[in-house]
Structures are given as structure tokens and as C-alpha cells.
Structure 1
Amino acid sequence: MDASVYLKRAVYGRWAVACAFFFNGFLVGSWAPQIPVFMVRLGISEFTLGLLILVFGLGALAAMPWCGYLIGRFGSRAVVQGFAIFCSFSLLLVALAPNALMAAPALFLFGAVIGGMDVAMNANAVEVEKKLSRAVMSSSHGFWSLGGFAGGALGGLLIEAHGHLTHALIVSLIAILLGLVAFRYMITEDEPAVQEKHRLEFPTNPLVYLLGLMALFSMVPEGSVLDWAALYLQQERGADIATAGFAFAAFSGTMSIMRFLGDGVRNRFGAVRTLRYSALIGAAGMAVASLAPTSWIAIIAFAFSGLGIANMVPIAFSAAGNQEGTSSGVALSMVTLMGYSGILVAPSAIGFVGGKTGFGPIYMVLAGLLVVVFLMSNLATSADKMRS
């Protein structure tokens, strides 16, 4: 194939996978404004709502291990496209559920297809990095954050103006349009993975599990800021509700900005150095937030921490997708599974412990987890192996 045509396809593939990340984030962001309506419509308690949201997370975690097998057999492009079809209608199914009994399987399916697509699109981003010989993973995750922001902002307006069903239908139509326009330009692996191709297997390379541990330690702080930072500021630092809400907003805002800048930083300084300094920045921010005497100092500290945490998971994913002797799909399915349990499962345990000890000590422990990632950063050397 002519080199210019090869490069052109890779560039198109880069923007197609960015669209896949936006698509996935848009659907998750669109679910967030549905939650209050969902609770009132079904007449359920906060406890039942929490269980149903946990079902969503369990669906994602259940689907992720299977994606390595699917990617090895069909390629990441086909798996992204297949999951995207179901994703397009999954929120509508949740919105149509008439009671909690029907909502549970709908949410499980929603989580499963979102989680499955997540693994496949990360595998595809690794393939794009190989084709372009440069990093695109961080900015791809930035597009996920952008999609989440767009979904949440549009969702609130549409639900208020037209109701939850119309909103879910419009989300499905937007998702279908995005898929039809962009996903046909996605690239795929040059040849199918040889190992772990014909059966469901777990990775045999122990480094994959260590990278998964790095992803877990990087994502637990993110989930903890999402779920508990506002409560921490309100109960332990005397913030009002409006001020407490700035904790995650500041954290996610700096994360989004840094993810779009992160590929350039990583291309210049390398994955290991970027991960090392990112971990230290994230740990310093968490430590200051845990000791902050006022709510605004804590908010600034959370924002500073977001600058560091932003690119840690993308680097871990790139490193997993470039392991020799293991298909990128199999490695990424395990690392994604381990990492996302930090957002989907760990915050529940943190909430229980924080209710006993307060959240200040919790955030200091989370700073310690990020120091562990700093100490493990040399394991991410393979993230720089982006050439085919």
C-alpha cells in the first residue's frame, strides 16, 4: 500500500476512534440526568437506586473479560461497531423500564455494552498509536470526558423541556448518526492475534496484572473524588452545598484539559517519565486535600491532583496493549476490568470506611496509592512501543 494512503487511513482512524470515545462518554453522560427522574418514576428508595446503579457496574465488569476473546477473533473495529449498535438503544431500554424488576436487566445490559465497547475502543486506540507511531490515548480519553460533559449538559435541558423518553430517543438518534458517520473509518489490526484467539483465556503474562494494579490505584482516587469529595467538604470542612459541588468539577475540569495535552507531553518526555511525574502530582494534590484547613484549599488541591491523574490510566492502557506475546484485546480486557473496579466497586467500601474514620484520612491513603504507582512506573516502558 502507498505510504500516503496508509497514513491517510491511520489519520482517519485516529479521528474515528476519538468519535468512539466521545460516543461512549456521551451515552454515560446522558444517563446521569436520567437518574433523578428514574428514581421518582419507579418510586424507589436511595438504597434501591444504589443497588441498581451497582447492577450497571456489575454489567460492565462482567462483559470486560470476554472482550479480549472477541477482539482476538474479530478485531477491535468489528467489536467496537458491534457493541455500539447495542449501546445506541441501551439508554432507551432503561428509560422504558416500567419498574425496578425490569430496570435491573436493562441496566445490566447498558453497563455490559458500555463496558465492552470501552475495552474495544481502547484496543483500537492502541492500534492507531502503532500506525501513527505516536501517542493518542490521552486525548482519546479526553474525548470521552468531552462526550460525558455534552451528554450531561444536553440531557438536563432535554429532560426538562420534553421529558425523559424524548431525551432517550434523541440520544439514540444522535448515537446512531455518530456511528454511521465515523465508525466506518476505523482501522483494525493488520492480522488477528495468534494467542488466546479461539477461546476465552486470561493473560499469562504477570506484567499485565501489575499494569492492572496500576490502573486500579490510579482510578480509585478518581472514583473517590466523584462519589465522596462533596460530602467530605460539606461535613468535614464546613462547605455549603454549592461550594462542595466544585470539588469534582475542578478535578474533572483539569483532568479533561490535561488529557488533551497529555499526548504531546508523553510524545516529548516518554511514557515512564510522564507517568512518574503525573503520579507525584496526583499524590501531592490528594495529600494536600486531605489536610486542607478550608474547603477552597481542598478544591484547589483536588484540581491539582486531576492534572496528574489525568494521564495515568491512558499510559497504563497503552502499556497493556503493547505487551509482547499477548494480544492487545486480552491484555486490555484484564487491565480495564481491574482499573474500572476502582470506580465501580471500590468507592462503596471507601464510603463505609469514611463513615467511620472521616474522609480526610481516606484521601491521605489514596495519595499513598499514587506513590505506589510512582514506584511501579518503570513497568510502563512498553507504552512507548508504538511502532507496528
Structure 2
Amino acid sequence: MEGTQVIWMVKKSGVTISEIGEDGEDVNRDSHRSSGYVAHRERTEESNKEGLQDVISSLTFTPSISKHQNISITCKILCDGKVKEKTFQHKRLYAKPTAPGPIKLSLTNSGEVLCSLDIEGFYPSDIQMKWNDKTSEQKKTYQNSDGTYSVHSEYEIPGRFFSHSDSVVRVSWKHESMEDWESREMSVRDKEFPWKANVQDIKVPNLLIGREAVLKCEVSNVFPDVLTVKWLKKEKGGQDLLPVVNSQTYSISELRPEKQKNKTFTYKLCLKFKPSDEGAEFICRVEHPTLEEPTEKSTGPLTIKDEESLIVGEIQGPRRWIHKEKVALYCSVSYCSEDTQVMWMVEPTHGRVEEIFNNGEDLLTDFGYMISKETEKSDKEGLLNITSLLTLIPSVSKHVGVIFTCKITSEGQTKTKEFQAKSICG
């Protein structure tokens, strides 16, 4: 009948700890204790008995492991001076596990790959885990402050496992709160795979007719330790790529891995020859499971010079830059004296030319510059070959249209070379 009142009660071990009235009605002296519960009169309508009504009331809340253990819910109805109660007791309380991140990979000292995954926020504590359909024994389960559980699971696989691009490591888990198994996968082609072969630009030295030159193709961050590197040649004006092999004309070094501190490998493949073909181009082609397709780096058409006292090559480096992705520019100087001075300068689109100084730190900071130098003896007594390196982190706001200049002064001679990026992508 009219005036029916519904009160919801939350009880723990038989003791009422919270009372919730419909649609904001405050029936609890400690009203803050009812936070998280919403009682609502869903419907009131005439019943099939004259003068009476049918009432539907709902209580909405989000279950919590820490809050709802041993909890019962009672609906108390007050109508025409009469009181009736109905109690609901849940049979089981569950929290469904979640995997907040991808599979993590790391390298062991022995060259194995340690795979791990964290599963969080489940209840009760029992959970099944499998790696590549094998039951995981290496897992550590711990309880969280909210009463739920988390697990850290590990699995070790051989380093050669990822030698094939279609190799996949899979971890699956099953909890009684779930209808079916869930899983995560990782392959060498996934963006989260921590190691991607990095093919560096080829440094082209100053080339002189009849004097031996060395081109170096370097690949870093290599894992797994499976790599194919080839030298190719394109004749001036041609389009065909011709394989370069050891011969009387060319000498190619043996491809050997160098293990780095981070347990990945670096490879260097050197090509020695005496320049003779003006405008020819040499290409280094690298194949690795982490690369979707072979990566190529080119020298560009070679410029060969007659012998002279001081030779300054063109500034080399990528012409297309990516915002906040490190860039390196090279300038090679041949047959210079020990007192040779190398100065890098930058000319903004609208502004005066400024000399670039090292930022004084070992690590390159955002939008800063770092200058380094490699020096070696030349084949002329008393003279040196110098390669000056300018490293920077480009900015769309700072470096669009900027011109970089390398100025070399040696024994009264001064030569300059300029470089400008074609584009910077944000």
C-alpha cells in the first residue's frame, strides 16, 4: 500500500554495519559508512489486489574483497505498521585477474631469455599459469593491501628461440572467476620486443684515387645472434645492385659479433678497396628476424678526388629527421696537421650564425648538442685524418630550415661544408 518504506542493510557476522535508504534518504547515523551503495525505487505500481501496490527496490554497489568478506545484504520492508526482512548471502566472492602490461623479456648472463608477466588483483589466490602450454612452476604469489592477490611468473627459453620471425612465446592463465583461459603473446615483430637491430649510417671517408679506403657497416642492438650482412654495388647511372665479394679489387672482413654490456651484440663488416669508379654507390644490406624487411644503408654516389694537402668531405647524415630522435652528422678531414681546428656552427632560419659548444655532459640532453672527434694517422707522415661528429636531438620548433656548418682550419687553410635536413617529422 502507499507509504511503503524500503531500507537496505549491510551486515557482517550478523551485525548491521550500514543502512541505506532509497534515493538518498539518510537512515544511517554514520552516513559515510554507506558510501559506495545506491538504493533506488525502481518501480511502484498498482497490484491486482484493490488498494495495494507492488514495489521493486534495488541496491547497487561494487563488491570489494577487503570490504565484503562475510557480508550479507538484508532488505527491510515497512508497510502498514508491519516489518518484513529478506536476506541475501553470496556463496563465493571473486576478483578477476588482470594483466596490466605485456610480457617482459630480459637476457641472462648465459644468453637465455627470461620471460615474465605480472597478473594482478585476483581472489582467491589459486591461479593456473602456462608458458607455451607448459605448466609454470616459477611463480611468486603475494597478497595486496586490498585483500586481492598478484602473481609474478617467469619462464626461461633458449636464446635461439627467436631466431625465426614466426616464433611466439605465449603465457596463459586460468582462474576460477574466469570462463576460459586468457593469454598474452610476444614475437620478434611486436613493437614491445625490446631488441631491434639498428643499422647505422655508413661513414664515407675522403676518397683519393689509388689510395685504399675503408667503408664500415655497423649493426648494433642485435638479438638473437642471427644476422646476414651483404655489400652491394650500384654502378654510376645504373639501377642493378651487384654483389660485392672478396677479390683482388675488394677485401671484406669477417663478420664477428661483439657482445655488449646489455648482452646484445654489435656487428661490423668492413669493405676495403681502392676508389676508381666516380659516382658508384655501395649499399650495405642487413637481414635479421626483428626487421620486417631487409634494411639498406647507402654511401650515396661516391666522389673521388685527386691527391691534395687538405681534404674536407661533405657532411654526412640522414636528411629526414624525427622530432626528439637522436641524429648524428659526420664531417671527415684528411691530411691535416695536429693543430687543426674543427668548429660546428648553426644558422637558424631567422637569426645570426652561432657556434656550437658541447653541453659539458656525457649524456645528450633534449635539444642539446654534443661534439666528439676520432683521430687516426694518415698514410702521409706527420699528417692526420679526423672525423668530427655532431650529435643532436632535433626539435620541430627549433631545427626546421636550420643550416649546420662545419668549419676546418689547418695550417692557414680554411674550408667549410654545409648541411640542411630536408624535413623533420613530429
Question: What TM-score does the superposition give when structure 1 sets the normalisation length?
Answer: 0.21
Higher-helix-fraction structure: 1
Structure ranking higher on relative contact order (CA contacts 8 Å, 6+ apart): 1
Higher-strand-fraction structure: 2
